């Protein structure tokens, strides 16, 4: 895909995400002008970005949304639920178009009809007295009128006039007057870029719209230039080119005769006497060798010229010299054109050419000395410093930061912009890296973990086989160093992969709002701990489970306003989503203050669906009953709707979480609400396991399931209902042997002291004991799923390669316990 198009897609997704958040914030704070401005700028930027590509359908829809928000910004239209709904729906449609562009590079034609309908719906939300105005803006309008005369033609350079005359001989010419909005920079518009790429451009001149005052009175963020230009392109093509700023451009035909006989402007004649105020304000004639910048009447222009003169005195290396000359020339060109006309511009060009011939700044320095008033009339250094910053921003050039030694193509338009842009790029400290590269680093770290685990085996071999204890000690010492570096590298890469929970949480306000309105409920969503972080894979896997939980809370948990009021509750329900980190685990809590879960209803529904039999129905406790909501096919909904009733929600939640090593716990109090806690690992890239021995084989058990390891005397093991149990820490713990779990031939064997080694683990909230032959050590492994014929083996979470080259099977205790 074209890198520019890929960047547009990335930016569009970010902008749409921000727009959604801003719209939901506006619904609660409709008078927040900062949010309104941010939303409008986001829409305008999206529209401008789309203009780089051939996707007019996209641009039209965004433009209609921009019109609506413009009226909101002008306080001609108020934000309400209907307006928010329509804008959010339009955002969804725009998002679909972005996805189509990403998939195929284009938007199918069948989107056109829907786009037209959405545009009409957006227009319909405008007040009647504004609708006609908006419709007029859709057509080509000319708020900017053509100039009263063609005096500006006289300011064209000889080369531009010759090019225009030659083009006029081949066909019709079009002239234009372009007056950018003063706030255009805040909308992402670039007038000089539009001029640079103008189709058929044969010449142009710039005009200063308003005289500049002093530096303290000048707003450097307002555009203060107008543009006159000549083009050989057809008017229709120019209208399409300026389709995003039609109200700022006036187009009119230009004949060859008009080009030759246009009215000339009156400039101050060279070598003519001029009258300027003296130091005490009295008018006094002053003969001048040439026109000059009067610091009393034109303080900002004089300051800019004085600053450029001082820049010429600064030392410049060979690779900086030409760039500085080009930058100073760019800055002075517009000033000379406005104050001295075409003759002054031509004189400037000849002077710069002389500087290049002589490889010296002296010709230009001499010219600037003649264009400034007396020394006492020039700006002070402090004022000039302010003017330097003003000139740099206002004119788009950076005289002190020219391009790196390379002379830019001389098209005459703001070449210094390149230097400023390069400087900004160098200042950026954010590096965007494709996910594949980070994943590759993670894989390499995993291989390093496996490789460094081989060192302890080499140390043992050196001591036991070759009898070299010194070598074994040195290997162990080096292992400690490499292990520390590997852990630091692993942690560093993990930090790169970490994402805040806000990347998932940010989609919930829109979901809760839409579902609550669909159900006729009032809901307040509270998000906490959005800065808690976890591995990218974990965070992205949380999206669907959390959406299922929230939809269930909205549909089954929270009551309608009238029911809540009758129960003595506020009519607005509350859902809390909180994220926190505990050790190497992430906890996500979802809590509502709804009606809770009725165990009796759960039991009855489970029995009707055949999930439990009659005996189980009588014996199951209330706590166990509410866990049945996670059973496949379970649902309490009476009818199937777009929200619930299909019995896949909570089952999907549990299955999805277990795939990434997570767990889910549910508690509920009837009439008070429900609380669901999701427990997830920080990362799934590297797993820490405890190796145990059973029947002469090594197996791994995930450390996050291990509670403790103990030795239990044979005398303390009892049999209850054919199940071995032991009392540990004051509670009864069922014991499982390898012969039961893995169908191994030999039962567990006690050691010489009559004790059994027991690994105590927590599985699905229950504490169980695994009788093993012995414990080895803990180690970090890269867990790989079983593939091929081995994939059908039950009871194994995967396999891992150990440092000595052997393969370790990691047990899935939950599956094994259920099977037992």
- pLDDT digits 0-9 by tens, 30-76: 888 888 888 888 888 888 777 667 787 888 888 888 888 888 888 88
At residue 189 the predicted structure's pLDDT band, cuts being 50, 70 and 90, is: confident
Note the pLDDT tens digit of each residue in 103-120. 888 888 888 888 888 888
- Whole-number pLDDT of residue 684: 65
Listed residue (582, 543, 447, 436) closest to 496, CA to CA: 436
Go through the chain and tell me how many residues it has.
820
The strand pairing partners of 756, in sequence order, are 712
Q: Give the DSSP per-residue string, 438-506.
A: HHHHHHHHHHHHHHHTHHHHHHHHHHHTS--HHHHHHHHHHHHHHHHHHHHHHHHHHHHHEEETHHHHT
In angstroms, the CA 639 to CA 113 distance is 34
Residue 426 near residue 398, CB atoms below 8 Å: no
Number of other CB atoms surrounding residue 519 within 10 Å: 15
Domain 501-681 has CATH 3.30.565.10: yes
Question: Measured in whole angstroms, how far is the alpha carbon of residue 253 from the centre of its chain?
Answer: 45
- State residue 372's pLDDT score: 62
Q: Which of 250-259, 646-655, 732-741, 761-770 has the lowest mean pLDDT?
A: 646-655
In angstroms, rounded to a whole number, what is the distance separating the alpha carbons of residues 527 and 14? 20
Cα atoms found within 13 Å of the Cα of residue 574, Cβ hemisphere only = 11
Mean pLDDT for all residues in the chain: 76
Q: Is 710 within 8 Å of 590 (Cβ atoms)?
A: no
What are the tens digits of pLDDT across the range 682-701?
776 677 889 998 888 889 99
Reported as a pLDDT band with limits 50, 70 and 90, residue 245 is confident
Distances 215 to 394, 438, 768 between C-alpha atoms, Å: 11, 49, 78
- Exposure b/e, 752-770, CB count within 10 A at least 16 = b: eeeebbbbbbebeeebbbb
**For residue 136, what pLDDT is reported?**
37
Cα→Cα distances 463→72, 475, 655, 666, 806, Å: 80, 10, 47, 53, 20
The number of CA neighbours under 13 Å toward the Cβ of 138 is: 18
Distance CA 594, CA 599 (A): 15
Return the C-alpha torsion angle 258, 263, 267, 273, nearest 10: 140
What band does 591 get if pLDDT is binned at 50, 70 and 90? Answer: very high
What pLDDT is stored for residue 636 in this prediction? Answer: 61
**Domain parsing of the chain, residue ranges:** 3-138, 151-261, 287-427, 435-499, 501-681, 687-819
Instruction: Pick the most confident of 77-81, 88-92, 280-284, 352-356.
Output: 88-92
To the nearest 10°, the Cα dihedral for 383, 389, 393, 396? 100
Higher pLDDT, 711 or 281: 711
CA distance linking residue 5 with residue 26, whole number of Å: 31
Instruction: Kindly state the helix (H) or strand (E) to which residue 427 belongs, with its residue range.
Output: helix 416-427
C-alpha angle with apex 52: 46 to 56, nearest 5 degrees? Answer: 75
Query: Most confidently modeled of 101-110, 468-477, 580-589?
Result: 468-477
Its sign, for the CA torsion 608, 610, 611, 617, is positive
pLDDT band of 295, cuts 50, 70, 90: low
DSSP 8-state assignment for residue 379: P
Name the more confident of 271 and 192. 192
Q: Contacts by 159-167 with C-beta closer than 8 Å and gap 24+?
A: 160/202, 160/203, 160/204, 160/230, 161/203, 161/259, 163/202, 163/203, 164/202, 164/203, 164/230, 164/259, 165/256, 165/259, 165/260, 167/200, 167/202, 167/230, 167/232
Mean pLDDT of 83-106: 87
Pairing verdict, β 522-528 and 572-582:
parallel
Give how far the C-alpha of residue 185 lies from the chain's centroid of Cα atoms, to the nearest Å.
22
Contact 34, 65 (CB under 8 A): no
Cross-strand pairs, 372 = 293
Helix (H), strand (E) at residue 342: helix 318-358
How confident is the model at residue 820, as a pLDDT? 66
Task: Of 360-364, 403-407, 638-642, give the range with the top mean pLDDT.
Answer: 360-364
Q: How far apart are CA 565 and CA 553, in angstroms?
A: 18
- Say how far apart CA 558 and CA 237 lie, in whole Å: 58
Query: What's the average model confidence in pLDDT over 609-635?
Result: 79
In whole angstroms, give the CA distance from residue 261 to residue 263.
6
Backbone conformation region of residue 736, classed left if phi is above 0, alpha if psi is from -120 to 50, else beta: beta
Percentage of the residues of the chain whose pLDDT score is greater than 70 = 81
Q: How far apart are CA 303 and CA 384, in angstroms?
A: 5
Q: Bigger pLDDT: 193 or 805?
A: 193
Q: How far is CA 657 from CA 188, 233, 527, 583, 763, in A?
A: 43, 61, 21, 19, 14
Q: Is the pLDDT of residue 627 over 50?
A: yes
Residues 200-218 have a mean pLDDT of: 83
For residue 480, name the pLDDT band (cuts at 50, 70, 90). Answer: confident
- For 525, how many CA atoms within 13 A lie in the half-sphere containing its CB? 23
Q: Which residue has the higher pLDDT, 771 or 316?
A: 771
Range name among 292-306, 617-631, 648-662 with the lowest pLDDT average: 292-306
Q: Would you say residue 500 has pLDDT above 60?
A: yes
pLDDT at site 643: 56
Cα 621 versus chain centre, distance:
48
pLDDT band of residue 227 (cuts 50, 70, 90) is very high
Residue 682: exposure state from Cβ atoms within 10 A (0-12, 13-18, ≥19): middle
The CATH number of the structural domain formed by 3-138 is: 1.20.120.160
In this predicted structure, what is the pLDDT of residue 578? 92
- Does the structure show a pLDDT above 90 at 259? no
Specify which residues 706 forms β-bridges with.
Answer: 761
Within 13 A of 366's CA, how many CA atoms are on the CB side? 11
Per-residue model confidence as pLDDT tens digits over 643-680: 554 445 677 788 778 777 788 888 888 888 999 998 88
| Element of type H or E holding 202 | strand 201-208
- Structure confidence at residue 412 (pLDDT): 37
Residue 139 pLDDT greater than 90, yes or no: no
Query: How far is residue 115's CA from residue 34's CA, in Å, rounded to a whole number?
Result: 29
- 592, β-bridge pairs: 575, 674
**510 to each of 12, 33, 515, 524, 525, how far by Cα in Å?**
18, 21, 9, 12, 10
Of 102-116, 132-146, 432-446, give the range with the top mean pLDDT. Answer: 102-116
Q: At what angle do helices 299-313 and 362-371 cross, to 10 degrees?
A: 160
Domain 687-819: which CATH number of 2.40.50.180, 1.20.1530.20, 3.60.10.10, 3.30.360.10: 2.40.50.180
Provide long-range contacts, Cβ within 8 A and 24+ apart, for 477-482. Answer: 479/452, 479/455, 482/452, 482/455
Structural fold of domain 151-261 = Alpha-Beta Plaits (3.30.70)
Q: Residue 612 pLDDT > 60, yes or no? A: yes
Q: Please count the other Cβ atoms lying within 10 Å of the Cβ belonging to residue 634.
A: 18
- Given this model, what pLDDT does residue 576 score? 93
Non-local CB neighbours of 271 within 8 Å, separated by 6+ positions:
288, 289, 290
CB atoms within 10 A of CB 778: 14
Q: What is the pLDDT of residues 561-578, one digit of tens each?
A: 999 999 899 999 999 999
| pLDDT recorded at residue 1 | 60
Phi then psi for residue 429, to 5 deg, are: -120, 15
| Separation between Cα atoms, residue 794 and residue 818, nearest integer Å | 11
Question: Burial letters for 165-180: b for 16+ Cβ neighbours within 10 Å, e otherwise?
Answer: eebbeeeebbbbbbbb
DSSP secondary structure string for all residues of 689-723? EEEEEETTEEEEEEGGGEEEEEEEEGGGEEEETTE
430 three-state secondary structure: coil
- What are 339-390's pLDDT values in tens digits? 667 777 888 888 888 888 777 777 787 777 666 654 333 333 333 333 333 3
Contact 163, 273 (CB under 8 A): no
Higher per-residue pLDDT: 727 or 281: 727
Domains 501-681 and 687-819 share a fold: no
Judge contact between 334 and 395, C-beta under 8 A: yes
More confident site: 488 or 412: 488
Provide the pLDDT for residue 188. Answer: 67
């Amino acid at each position: 895909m074209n890198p520019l198009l890929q960047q547009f897609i990335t930016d569009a997704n970010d902008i749409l995400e921000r727009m959604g958040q801003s719209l939901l914030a506006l619904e609660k704070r409709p008078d927040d002008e900062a949010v309104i401005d941010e939303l409008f700028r986001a829409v305008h930027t999206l529209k401008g970005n789309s203009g780089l590509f051939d996707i007019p359908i996209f641009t039209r829809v965004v433009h209609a949304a921009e019109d609506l928000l413009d009226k909101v910004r002008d306080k001609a239209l108020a934000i309400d639920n209907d307006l928010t709904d329509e804008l959010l729906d339009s955002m969804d449609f725009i998002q679909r178009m972005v996805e189509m562009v990403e998939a195929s590079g284009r938007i199918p034609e069948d989107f056109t009809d829907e786009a037209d309908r959405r545009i009409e719906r957006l227009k319909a939300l405008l007040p009647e007295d504004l609708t006609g105005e908006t419709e007029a803006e859709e057509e080509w309008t000319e708020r900017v009128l053509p100039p009263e005369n063609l005096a500006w033609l006289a300011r064209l350079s000889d080369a531009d006039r010759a090019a225009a005359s030659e083009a006029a001989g081949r066909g019709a010419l079009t002239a234009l007057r372009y007056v950018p909005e003063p706030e255009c920079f805040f909308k992402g518009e670039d007038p000089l870029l539009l001029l640079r790429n103008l189709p058929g451009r044969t010449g142009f001149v710039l005009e200063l719209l308003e005289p500049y005052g002093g530096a303290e009175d000048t707003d450097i963020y307002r555009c203060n230039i107008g543009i006159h230009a000549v083009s050989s392109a057809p008017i229709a093509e120019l209208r399409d080119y300026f389709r995003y700023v039609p109200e700022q451009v006036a187009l009119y035909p230009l004949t060859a005769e008009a080009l030759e006989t246009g009215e000339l402007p009156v400039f101050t004649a060279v070598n003519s006497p001029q009258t300027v105020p003296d130091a005490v304000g009295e008018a006094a004639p002053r003969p001048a060798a040439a026109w000059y910048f009067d610091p009393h009447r034109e303080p900002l222009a004089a300051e800019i010229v004085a600053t450029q003169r001082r820049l010429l005195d600064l030392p410049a290396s060979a690779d900086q010299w030409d760039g500085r000359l080009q930058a100073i020339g760019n800055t002075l060109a517009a000033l000379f054109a406005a104050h001295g006309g075409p003759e002054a511009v031509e004189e400037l060009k000849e002077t710069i050419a002389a500087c290049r011939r002589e490889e010296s700044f002296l010709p230009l320095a001499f010219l600037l000395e003649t264009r400034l008033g007396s020394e006492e009339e020039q700006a002070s250094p402090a004022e000039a410093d302010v003017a330097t910053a003003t000139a740099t921003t206002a004119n788009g050039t950076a005289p002190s930061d020219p391009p790196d030694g390379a002379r830019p193509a001389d098209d005459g338009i703001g070449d210094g912009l390149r230097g400023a842009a390069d400087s900004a790029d160098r200042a950026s400290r954010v590096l965007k890296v494709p996910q594949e590269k980070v994943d590759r680093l993670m894989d390499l770290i995993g291989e390093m973990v496996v490789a460094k685990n081989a060192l302890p085996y080499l140390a043992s071999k050196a001591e036991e086989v070759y009898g070299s204890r010194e070598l074994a000690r040195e290997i162990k010492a080096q292992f400690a160093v490499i292990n520390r570096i590997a852990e630091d590298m692993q942690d560093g890469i993990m930090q790169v992969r970490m994402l805040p929970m806000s990347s998932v949480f940010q989609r919930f306000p829109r979901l809760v709002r839409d579902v609550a309105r669909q159900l006729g409920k009032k809901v307040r969503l509270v998000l906490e701990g959005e800065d808690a972080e976890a591995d990218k894979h974990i965070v992205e896997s949380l999206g669907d489970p959390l959406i299922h939980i929230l939809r269930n809370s909205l549909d089954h948990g929270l009551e309608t306003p009238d029911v809540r009021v009758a129960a003595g509750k506020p009519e607005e329900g509350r859902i809390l989503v909180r994220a926190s980190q505990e050790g190497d685990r992430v906890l996500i809590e979802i809590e509502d203050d709804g009606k809770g879960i009725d165990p009796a209803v759960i039991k009855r529904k489970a029995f009707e669906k055949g999930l439990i039999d009659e005996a189980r129905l009588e014996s199951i406790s209330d706590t166990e009953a509410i866990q049945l909501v996670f059973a496949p096919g379970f649902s309490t909904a009476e009818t199937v709707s777009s929200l619930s009733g299909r019995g896949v929600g909570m089952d999907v939640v549990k299955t999805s979480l277990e795939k990434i090593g997570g767990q889910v716990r549910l508690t509920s109090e009837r009439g008070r609400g429900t609380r669901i806690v999701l427990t997830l690992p920080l990362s799934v890239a590297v797993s820490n396991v405890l190796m145990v021995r059973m029947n002469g084989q090594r197996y791994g058990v995930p450390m996050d399931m291990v509670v403790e390891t103990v030795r239990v005397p044979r005398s303390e093991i009892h049999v209850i209902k054919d199940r071995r149990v032991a009392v540990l820490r004051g509670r009864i713990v069922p014991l499982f042997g390898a012969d039961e779990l893995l169908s191994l031939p030999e039962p567990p064997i006690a050691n010489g002291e009559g004790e059994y080694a027991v690994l105590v683990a927590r599985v699905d909230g229950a504490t169980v004991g695994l009788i093993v032959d012995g414990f080895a050590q803990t180690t970090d492994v890269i867990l790989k799923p079983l593939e091929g014929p081995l994939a059908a083996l039950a009871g194994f979470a995967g396999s891992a390669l150990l440092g000595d080259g052997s393969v370790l099977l990691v047990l899935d205790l939950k599956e094994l316990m259920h099977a037992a």
